Amino acid sequence: MTEQQADKGSIQVIERMMSLLEVLADMPEPASLKLLAQSTGLHPSTAHRILAAMTSAAIVERQDAGSYMLGIRLLELGNIVKSRINIRQVALPHMQQLHELVGEAVNLGIRHEDEIIYVERTSSGRSLVRVVYLVGGRAPLHLTSVGKLFLADDGLADVRAYARRTGLPGKTPHSLTRLDALEKELDRIRRHEFACDNEEAEIGLRCLAAPIRNDEGQLVAGLSVSAPADRHNPDWVTPIKATASEISLALGYRRPVRR
């Protein structure tokens, strides 16, 4: 056997292994050898041989009844991958693509207690109005589009507790400083899955944001585009939401299927 033939055979084994894993991942219960062979198009003896190798590596677990399920080693490996994920690193290529599309600053913000912290930014280089959105900058949750995403993700009691703690201070005439106005805005965000900042943190600056979720469905960050009010375009909502979804997908998020 030539080296090229050996390489081809190794790749084929890996492809067959992956097809078995994909079928097992879709099975809510342990699957029989017969069912796995049928689902993957493999001969039962071939499927059995590959499953045996994966079982010895704890990638697959064999049940007493001769059926198979995903093994504990996959969970261990998944946790290692998860611990090494850096949201900034995952998000930045997507942010740069969005920046090229809209031509304005793209921001990545995370929550720290009652504030948003901006941890990454692609600068448009066009706007002098960008005090709030410098990397490392902080702002109260209710004054920014990203912050509102986190408040919208909270329950009613948590939002009211936030209002009591902070007093909902304003920075501009457009700031939401009344609880009833804030609750109405948060309800709109929950229904439409994006948030706006209409010169609420800084006069002359408007912003749109969409949520980023991890593999557990938790809101871990917000993606926003900020621009001077005269260049603001509400149509940016679509690419912002699409980009946030791509980042969420890269973090392992899968949108629940509505029944």
pLDDT tens for residues 133-156? 566 778 899 999 999 999 999 989
Per-residue pLDDT of 89-135, as tens digits, reads: 889 999 999 999 988 889 999 898 899 988 888 875 554 444 455 66
Can you give the pLDDT at residue 88?
Answer: 87
Neighbours of 40 (CB within 10 A): 20
pTM, rounded to two decimals: 0.67
Can you give the pLDDT at residue 6?
Answer: 56
Residues in contact with 95: Cβ distance below 8 Å, sequence separation at least 6, in sequence order:
106, 108, 120, 122, 223, 243
